[in-house]
Structure 1
Amino acid sequence: MKVFKDILYRVQIEAVVGSTSVSINKLQFDSRKVELNDAFVAIRGSISDGHKFIEQAVNNGALAVICEEIPEQIVNGVTYVEVKNTQQALAFMAANYYENPSEKLKLIGVTGTNGKTTIATLLYNLFTKAGFKVGLLSTVNVKVGDKAFDAVRTTPDSITINAYLKQMNDEGVEFCFMEVSSHGIDQHRTTALEFAGGIFTNLSHDHLDYHSSFVEYRDVKKRFFDELPASAFALVNTDDKNGQVMLQNTKAQKYTYALKSYADYKAQILENSFTGLLLKVNDQELWTRLIGSFNAYNVLAIYAAAELLGLETLESLKIISELNSVNGRFQYVISAEEKITAIVDYAHTPDALKNVLETINNIRTKNEELITVVGCGGDRDSTKRPKMGHIASALSTKVIFTSDNPRTEDPDKIVEEVEAGVEPQNFKKVTSVTNRKQAIKAACQMAKQNDIILIAGKGHETYQEINGERKDFDDLKIVNGFLKQLNK
């Protein structure tokens, strides 16, 4: 039990009805989960308004209600606290409830359109190999030391974040690396967290189903850096024009990394092949198993962050050279006889798809076909669909458009919107197979000796979401199975 007034520290309170000296059990923002003596926070969401469920929460036993508008019907014995923004209030309350766990470790946030998962996960692996106890909050999973938990979303809600951070405190975790999404920033899920550093990767077309414009999307990302304390570092990619924008108003110590422009941390690609990259990083040569120029940026970011966090340079370089790719990020298998290479990558934005395809084209001899299987998710930003179609058809020798996670949308309609981006000179390259498994099978049947298949969009995901139901689906397992059948 926690004294209610103690967990209201730093919350901007407009009005109070009742006593804040009561003791509460847990914080909840889902009225269905409320139990006796819990505090219910009424969140105005995009789908539903938690204020409509205050009565239900009280009936379930809520002792306190935090809301933006105190209801007309007041229940005796229940404390009502009115605030300007319940999402922001929840963030402070969650941090206070769990005794501000972010202050007791070094929390590093990674934000940007592409590369968040790779950078956060590689930093977790790097510092773990260096002998530290480390935490991870990522799209793929959550880790507390060597314990792994399933991740529900890129940036969890404030209660979940602080609960995991408290668990990390209890386990003696020293560093935690966390993906920070634009949704998470906008919805105040990261408010009240004490960050020791922030990393900006890049910014490109994504999430415009949520943000009203690209400028708004950019400015939400910038807010993360605006709120960093002076004791933190802000590390940004200045080959992206938005890198300097992130630094404009930050109080944090400013550092830059780049491949093409002047920066504090500079890298040059010396060799690029399907076995890895040879880089020159600030006058030091570094071999990495990661592939492609986009991964050169990721490696440079983790090298810079490791140095800023005090890891010795030679130790850092040695461990980076031993790191493997992250699940679903340029993972590949090669068929035994035909030597067909199948690559699975999470690329689900136009920029990410372009990066992966350009990487493959820079490495391949052009004597082989590049067959791309790609689609777009349903109930998400539809404006990127023709762009994905244009990029895939322009940079591949053959393309199969298919389903990603159609969710509640008609998958055939999504495929048609992707097809709309194909230019006339590329029509003959394109086939559409809505069933994703059949599309992957078709790609394997098309492929000849030494050809390359790229299966893009889902990466690490082991499910396909159709009409609200998640069905088992693993791109890597499926393509590997079909390739093995070819050898029989």
Structure 2
Amino acid sequence: MKLSQLTERCKIVAIHGEENVEVESITSDSRQVQKGSLFIAVEGINTDGHDYIAKAIEQDVLVVVYDKPMFEEYFSRVTYVQVENSAVALAQIASVWYGNPSEQLKLVGVTGTNGKTTVATLLYRMFRTLGYGAGLLSTVTNCVNDDSYPTTHTTLDPITLNSFLRKMVDAGCEYAFMEVSSHAIHQKRVYGLRFQGGIFTNLTQDHLDYHKNMLEYRNVKKAFFDALPETAFALTNSDDKNGGVMLQNTKAKRYTYSVKGLADFKARIFEKHFDGTEIEINGKQLIVQFVGVFNVYNLLAVYGVSVLLGEEPEEVLRILSVLKPVAGRFQTLRSPGNFTAIVDYAHTPDALTNVLNAIHEVLDQKGNIITVVGCGGNRDRTKRPLMAREAVELSNRVILTSDNPRFEEPQDIIDDMVAGLDDEQRRSALSIVDRREAIKTACALAKPGDIILVAGKGHEDYQEIKGVKYHFDDKEELEKIFHTSP
């Protein structure tokens, strides 16, 4: 593709060299540069692509796109394109390279602290069940119709993201549903994509290792809605105090969903069980295979989007009643010893509170709750004491353990969690660094009628320690214990 075509949407400051060269590949990773490549230098969190321009030139790069003026000399065989913002240019170039696929799909983005994976996945399943070609980009997996691909980030880099959207278009998909993380919004990974709609689930503390404070975190989420076009819809949870904030400056058509107040899409809850919940949505009763008020919000969002995309409410409700929970999200396992284990991805204080409250609502003081929980290393440290406190206040026994310690010492992370507890609370909490042993201990402590919650990792099938990912799956560990139990 001609360079002039690729950069037609970019804000160019200066060009040095031949403007009309034929580009054969695009990349923002200097290790992938080949002869004929266009390399976009982007400043990231840990590395700056500008530091690798010389390496790209050594590898016979054709075009360098950058935003920091830094050259004393220019090589005649390379074309240099200085832009206002490299991250924005990367998104624009990636979109053009793949034929602007977001403009050929009905693309819906889901943002918020909790619920993104469940809402995006259930929307994908809903529209596949309705008979449409549909794609999914999520924390758990990426799907193009019935083909699934592994994923590494909640929201992919612009080149990989647009390549998936292209795959979806080529496979005949009409719809695409994706999680949109705050990191992705801030880093312009979704810049320039055309969204048909956006969903806001909720906002609670997370990612304060990245965002300076909750206000900045909220405003980054809001920027997603500010960028939606008039042709799109914006659907927000009006029971969250930030739901209205998301709609303040959006040009999109505004809609709300609620369990507590008036809204376009309204739910009521009647009965709660461990295998489902009896609810009402916009006056129609149904039984769903999901547990907890937080899941009712997720289902409401799915219902609202489906109706806003033109589907018949009755058919949407019928499919909602047969949809099953997403892997690692309130996943229930029954033990031979007549206690129940629940595996959940809850890795923020609010998510943990939601899951424990959901267990309390169904358990109704007829058994004890034993919670196994840890916190990830090299991530927001301020939530560690909060996670421990929520776990202890809402459980009968707590075992603090490792999550993904990454490059931190597991015991140091547990010590940060323990710091949030008073003397009495510390006496009710065990600390077991080895996650496998922590899960075994919880099972040994459980009596018939009790509930074990293993929180924090959910669908993940690994533990990341010192830069290495070792196979580890909470659900697998529980099944092994149940299989060997007398």
TM above 0.5, yes or no, is: yes
Residue 425 of structure 1 and its aligned partner are, at CA, apart by 3.4
Does the residue aligned with 2:236 lie in a helix, a strand or coil? strand
Alignment partner, residue 424 of structure 1 = 423
Aligned counterpart, 1:128? 128
Gaps of 5+ in 1: none
Asked whether the 8 Å contact 1:463–1:471 carries over to 2, the reply is: yes
Q: Distance in 2 between matches of 1:272 and 1:422?
A: 31
After superposition, what is the alpha-carbon deviation per residue over 1:179-213, rounded to whole angstroms, capped at 9, x for unaligned?
00000000000001000000000000000000011
- Quick one: distance in 1 between partners of 2:238 and 2:18? 51
Aligned residue in 2 for 1:369: 368
Q: Residues of 1 paired with 2:324 and 2:407: CA distance?
A: 35
The residue correspondences of 1:95-114 to structure 2 (distance < 5 A) are 95-114=95-114
CA contact (8 A) 1:118 1:326 kept: yes
The 1:70–1:20 alpha-carbon spacing in structure 2 relative to 1, beyond 3 Å, is farther
Q: Which residue of 2 aligns with 1:235?
A: 235
* Counterpart-to-counterpart distance in 1, 2:466 and 2:447: 36
Q: How does 1:84-95 map to 2 (within 5 A)?
A: 84-95=84-95
1:428 is displaced (CA, Å) by 2.7
| Cα deviation, residue 311, structure 1 | 1.0
Alpha-carbon separation, structure 2, partners of 1:325 and 1:382: 30
Matches within 5 A, 1:155-304: 155-304=155-304
Contact 1:258/1:297, CA 8 A, preserved across alignment: yes
Which residue of structure 2 lines up, in the alignment, with residue 405 of structure 1? Answer: 404
Residues paired across the two proteins, number:
485
- Structure 2 contact 266–300 (Cα < 8 Å) conserved: yes
Q: What CA distance in whole angstroms lies between the structure 2 residues aligned with 1:93 and 1:367?
A: 58
Please give the alpha-carbon distance, in whole angstroms, between the structure 2 residues aligned to 1:379 and 1:25. Answer: 38
| Cross-structure match for 1:74 | 74
Q: Paired residue for 1:327?
A: 327
Contact 1:24–1:37 (8 Å) recurs in 2 = yes
Aligned residue for 1:38? 37
Moved more, 67-76 or 183-192: 67-76
Amino acid at match of 1:374: V
Contact 1:113 1:203 in 2 (8 A): yes
Deviations for 1:298-344, whole angstroms, at most 9, x for unmatched residues?
010000000000111111111110000000000011013x2110000
Q: Could you tell me which residue of structure 2 aligns to residue 393 of structure 1?
A: 392
Tell me, yes or no, if the aligned pair for 2:265 and 2:300 is still in contact at 8 Å: yes
Match of 1:10, SS? coil
Take 1:447 and 1:340, find their aligned partners in 2: how far apart are those partners? Answer: 7
Deviations 1:95-135 (A, max 9, x none): 01111000001000000000000000000001101100100
Displacement of 1:367: 3.0
Of residues 50-59 and 151-160 in structure 1, the stretch that sits farther from structure 2 once superposed is 50-59
Which secondary structure does the structure 2 equivalent of 1:124 belong to?
A: helix
Cα shift at 1:55? 1.0
Measure the CA separation in 2 of the matches of 1:447 and 1:48.
47
In the other structure, the counterpart of 1:481 is: 480
User: Partners in 2 of 1:382 and 1:26 — Cα distance?
Assistant: 40
Aligned-partner residue type, residue 278 of structure 1: E
Q: Which moved more, 1:476-485 or 1:83-92?
A: 476-485
Report the CA distance between 1:420 and its aligned residue: 1.1
Deviation of 1:471 after TM superposition, in Å, equals 0.3
Give the drift of 1:479: 1.1
Q: Distance in 2 between matches of 1:192 and 1:143?
A: 22
Q: Is the 8 A contact 2:145 2:171 kept in 1?
A: yes
Q: Secondary structure at the match of 1:126?
A: helix
Q: Is the 8 A contact 1:374 1:404 kept in 2?
A: yes
* Structural mapping, 1:457-472, within 5 Å: 457-472=456-471
Q: Which residue of 2 aligns with 1:446?
A: 445
Deviation at 1:47, TM superposition (A): 1.1
Q: Secondary structure of 1:322's match?
A: coil
Corresponding residue for residue 15 of structure 1:
14
* 8 Å contact from structure 1 (residues 340, 450) kept in 2: yes
Paired with 1:71 and 1:392, the residues of 2 have a C-alpha distance of: 54
The answer on 1:145 being equivalent to 2:161 is no
Check the 8 A contact 2:342/2:454 in 1, yes or no.
Answer: yes
Q: Supply the AA of the counterpart residue of 2:169.
A: N
1:484 deviation in Å? 2.5
Q: 1:423 to 1:261 in 2, by over 3 A?
A: farther
The CA distance in 2 between the partners of 1:53 and 1:289, in whole Å, is: 51
CA contact (8 A) 1:70 1:81 kept: no
SS in 2 for 1:382: coil
Is this contact kept in 2: 1:70–1:82, CA < 8 A? no
Q: Alignment partner of 1:280: what SS?
A: strand
Shift in Å at residue 241 of structure 1? 0.5
- Whole-angstrom CA distance in 1 between matches of 2:325 and 2:241: 27
**Paired residues for 1:319-358 under 5 Å:** 319-336=319-336, 338-358=337-357
- How far the C-alpha of 1:10 sits from its partner, in A, is 1.4
* Mapped partners of 2:26, 2:476: distance in 1: 40
The letter for the 2-side match of 1:66 is V
For 1:365 and 1:298, the matched residues in 2 are separated by 23
> Match of 1:424, as an amino acid?
D
Asked if the contact 2:401/2:431 (under 8 Å) is kept, the reply is yes
d(CA) in 2 for partners of 1:254, 1:471? 45
Shift of 1:424: 3.1
| Distance apart, 1:137 and its partner CA | 0.3
Q: Distance in 1 between matches of 2:427 and 2:360?
A: 19
The answer to which of 422-431 and 47-56 deviates more is 422-431
- SS of the residue 2:136 aligns to: strand
Mapped partners of 2:71, 2:30: distance in 1: 15
Q: 4+ residue stretches of structure 1 with deviation over 6 A? A: none
Instruction: Give the whole-Å Cα distance in 2 for the aligned partners of 1:150 and 1:361.
Output: 34
Aligned-CA RMSD value = 0.8
Q: Partners in 2 of 1:413 and 1:347 — Cα distance?
A: 21
Q: Look up the SS of the partner of 1:24 in the other structure.
A: coil
Amino acid at match of 1:281: I
The amino acid across from 1:272 in the alignment is K
The answer to whether the 8 Å contact 1:372/1:400 transfers is yes
Aligned residues of 2:418 and 2:426 also touching (Cα < 8 A):
no
Shift of 1:70: 4.5
Match of 2:83 in 1: 83
Distance 1:20 1:99 in 2: 20
Decide whether the 8 Å contact of 1:70 with 1:80 is kept in 2.
no
Identity among equivalent pairs (%): 49
TM-score, structure 2 as length reference: 0.99
